[in-house]
Structure 1
Amino acid sequence: MELDEAYANAAYIPGGDTYPARWAKAAASFREKTLCELDLPYGESARQKLDLFHPPRLAKGLVVFVHGGYWLMSDKSDWSHLAAGPLAQGWAVAMPSYDLCPAVRITDIGNQIAAAIAFAAGRVLGPIRLTGHSAGGQLVARMTARRSGARWQARVAKVVPISPLGDLAPLMLTSMNADLKLDTAEVLAESPIYLPKPQMPVTVWVGADERPAFLEQSRILARAWTCERIVAPDRHHFDVIEPLCDPDSALTAALLAP
């Protein structure tokens, strides 16, 4: 399709095909040595489960990380190690899985993420900070819009979409749309650029070495929301999230800053 290359990542990253196995190995190792509750159900389907990582003392609050994969692939279990930075700073971290397209629509996934946050918020007191990568960036950005009955929204203190998809319209021109099934109505409803400007602080984060399409996606979202945009030097779409492993990184600081 017309824009398939624009949104291809692995082919343009040296060793891109090796990252999934590396992520899975690092995540499994992290779970083995960390206080965590695994596979907590927040919904009815098999994939509506989350992992909750706990600091050794009473948590300062809750961080929720939502994984990417174009709403078509991946699982919470590949990203556990990214909880290390916030966890070392005293924050609990929730990582949900969710149903994937084409079994559900992107709209349905957004509703599942809201349910996951509500569940985790019921387990952890204090402020909530949301972050997500790529499609997960779209999902956490979508959480800034008011939801009826979502009492947890008043606790959201910061949102950091990482390499987010702020405008879903271009994806209608990719072969992925055979499974995403995006139409104009859903694009308008689910694209963060069309949402009201959030009432909480937002920092859009993107790697300087990402594909031009992702640099533009981050740019238009930051412009639409008049919010901070950080372009991380020497980072591509796969390693842009790695600083979440470091409690002292600029990315972790942006997420947790008062």
Structure 2
Amino acid sequence: MNLEAEYNNRARVPDHPAVMQMWRETAEAARVAHPPLEIAYGSGPRAVMDLFEAGPGAPVAVFLHGGYWQALDRSWFSGIAPALLAHGVSLAIPSYDLCPAVRLGTILGQVRAAVELIRGRNGARPVVFGHSAGGHMAACMLSEGRASAAVAISGVFDLRPLLETSLNEALNLDAHEAAALSPIFWPTPNGSTPGGTVLDCIVGGDESPEFIRQSGEMAERWSARGVETRCEILAGLNHFTVLNSLYKSDSGTTRRIAALSLRD
């Protein structure tokens, strides 16, 4: 199997710059219409999150962006805020430091701090959802009892295949670290564990067979260990367009995240 072709999504989707330009344009418009509150959750210029508030007492969902832990920041994804605000759900989007300047484990520590800040501020564990690398980290937060539920979109739950790709040049993972940081092998939340026990794995039908396999296998393995999982394949969508539903208040993905956030 050509793992480089399976996991290098920018090479796999030649028109990804047009999709990313849409992300940028909708983000700028959303920030004008709904100026976010900037909150530092740690030290350093990237340890900052944007909080788009739906109103006093509103539940907060946390979105973790992708980029293989080595690209992008919170400013790219402000455009998903209006769809959740329409449901009365606030949205927090943290940036984090990037590889190779820091290790992936350090990034996970930053995400923990951001999620815990929202939990302390709101008095409840948030729903955590994310895309690609963010899907990986959303599952990690659920495993650790920090999230009330996790929605992982195009997540990478087993990092070992990345060892044989160019993506590992910045990550610099070895076999031991890749396995240790793969949430597919982490303890699963259960009824006796604080936090939530719901994991949604969503993936585009036009993504690589490896991404589809990863989501299906993650849902299957965690379901066998008592987690309420679902795996949804969105037909006709690739690794970039799979986020399209987050920009629509009436999409199934947005309604699902809102429902998980609003439940008692």
Matched, 1:22 2:26: no
Identity %: 37
- Match of 1:234? 236
Q: Which moved more, 1:191-200 or 1:42-51?
A: 191-200
- Match of 2:143? 145
- Match of 1:250? 252
- Relative to structure 1, the CA distance from residue 15 to residue 162 in structure 2 (aligned partners, 3 Å threshold; closer, same or farther) is same
- Match of 2:70? 72
State the distance in 2 between where 1:138 and 1:119 align. Answer: 20
> CA offsets per residue over residues 170-192 of structure 1, 9 Å max, x none?
00001221210111222222101
The Cα of 1:28 is off from its aligned counterpart by 0.9
> CA offsets per residue over residues 119-140 of structure 1, 9 Å max, x none?
2223334451110000010011
> CA offsets per residue over residues 96-146 of structure 1, 9 Å max, x none?
000000111111111100101112223334451110000010011111233
State the distance in 2 between where 1:53 and 1:125 align. Answer: 17
TM-score (normalizing by structure 1): 0.91
- Match of 1:217? 214
Asked if 2 retains the 8 angstrom alpha-carbon contact of 1:35 and 1:54, the reply is no
2:140 aligned partner, one-letter code? R
Which of the residues 54, 58, 81 maps onto 1:60?
Answer: 58
- Match of 1:173? 164
Asked if 2 retains the 8 angstrom alpha-carbon contact of 1:62 and 1:125, the reply is no
Which of the residues 77, 81, 84 maps onto 1:83?
Answer: 81
Q: Which runs of 5+ in 1 are unaligned?
A: 148-152
- Match of 2:48? 49
- Relative to structure 1, the CA distance from residue 175 to residue 127 in structure 2 (aligned partners, 3 Å threshold; closer, same or farther) is closer
1:41 aligned partner, one-letter code? A
State the distance in 1 between where 2:11 and 2:175 align. Answer: 29
Note the 1:74-223 alignment, pairs <5 A. 74-146=72-144, 153=146, 156-199=147-190, 200-223=197-220
Matched, 1:32 2:35: no
State the distance in 2 between where 1:49 and 1:122 align. Answer: 16
- Match of 1:11? 11
State the distance in 1 between where 2:144 and 2:132 align. Answer: 22
State the distance in 1 between where 2:115 and 2:144 align. Answer: 14
State the distance in 1 between where 2:99 and 2:125 align. Answer: 31
Equivalenced residue count is 249
- Match of 1:150? none
State the distance in 2 between where 1:121 and 1:87 align. Answer: 18
The Cα of 1:159 is off from its aligned counterpart by 0.7
Asked if 2 retains the 8 angstrom alpha-carbon contact of 1:92 and 1:124, the reply is no
Asked if 2 retains the 8 angstrom alpha-carbon contact of 1:207 and 1:233, the reply is yes
Partner SS for 1:122: helix
2:133 aligned partner, one-letter code? A
Partner SS for 2:189: coil
Partner SS for 2:214: helix
- Relative to structure 1, the CA distance from residue 231 to residue 89 in structure 2 (aligned partners, 3 Å threshold; closer, same or farther) is same
1:256 aligned partner, one-letter code? A
TM-score (normalizing by structure 2): 0.89
